[in-house]
Amino acid sequence: MKSLKFIITLIIILYFQSCAKPVDFDQIDDAEIEANYILSQVYFNLKALDILDEYNNEIEFKIKPIQVSINNATQKYLDKIVFTVVTENSFDRAFNIEIVLLNEALKPIYTISPIINILPNSNETVVTIEIPNSEIDVIFNAGFFSFIVQLLPSNDGSVISINNTSELFFKSYVKLFFNYKTE
């Protein structure tokens, strides 16, 4: 009988002791998760043949618009977009590379700035381009993007010959900075 009383007393103590230390579920409003995702982007290797037309005249050229598919569901959490471009140029000529975003009707809606300037005879060069938060909306409205590669004129008037073995390497990736917050 003593044991029974002990058990009943223990249960009563446990019952009255049972409680919860303070918690605040509203803290969830302050919760943020910052995650960064890398996506490989375009790359190319440009040779003399690519810069000359059939008459061996230097040309400015565009890549045919590339379709993009961006999921709008993540837009509200995307905080920042940073493109990283690595170039290496053995031509003795400078290049400008312009990345233009186009809408579904193939009309330009945004040019990523700054324009990438590649110096003549330059070793591996890293350029980062940040798309600020205020301009991210435009990215999500894009249906296509296009590359415009412009060969800048030489200082001495020389031109690239078809036998030139120089190359321009262009590599890139994008880093998406997400900041997930509760609503």
Partner 1 sequence: MKNISFLFFLAFLIGNGQNKQVLYDFAGLPQTLLVNPGAEVNNEFYFGLPLFSQIAVQGGFTGFSAYDIFADDGTNINLKIQKVVEGFGKSEFVEVNEQIEGLSGGLRLNEKNYLSFGYYQEFNFLTKIPRDVIDLIYEGNSEINRPYSVRNLSSRAEMLGVFHLGISRKINNKWQAGARAKLYSSALNISSKHTKGSLATIDGTNNIYEQQLNNIKFLFQSSGVLINDTDDLSPSYFAKKMLLGGNLGFGIDLGFTHQFKQQWTVSGSAIDLGFVYNTKNVESYSLEGNFKVEGFDLNFDEGNPSDYWNNLKDRFNEEVVLDTINSNYISTRPLKLYGAVNYQFGKKLDDCRFEIRPGLYSNKVGFQLFSTVGSVHSYLAATLFFERWFNKYFQAKVTYTVDPYSFSNLGAGFSTQLGPINLYLMADNLLYLNNIYAVKSANILLGVNFIFYDKY
Binding site for partner 1 (CB under 8 A): 1, 3-4, 7, 14, 17-33, 35-46, 50, 61, 63-64, 66-69, 84, 86, 147, 149, 170-173, 175, 178, 182-183
In the complex, the smallest distance separating the C-beta of residue 159 from partner 1, rounded to whole angstroms, is 18
The smaller minimum CB distance to partner 1, of residues 24 and 156, is found at: 24
**How is residue 84 written in tokens?**
């990283």
Q: Shortest distance, CB of residue 38 to partner 1, whole angstroms?
A: 5
Burial degree of 170 (CB within 10 A; 0-12, 13-18, 19+): buried
Region for 62 from its dihedrals, namely left if φ exceeds 0, alpha if ψ lies in -120 to 50, beta otherwise: beta
At its nearest, how many Å lie between partner 1 and the CB of residue 156?
26
**Closer residue to partner 1 in complex, CB, 158/180:** 180
Q: How far is C-alpha 99 from the geometric centre of its chain's CA atoms?
A: 12
Contact at 8 Å (CB) between 38 and 137? no
Q: How far is the CB of 155 from partner 1 (least distance, A)?
A: 25
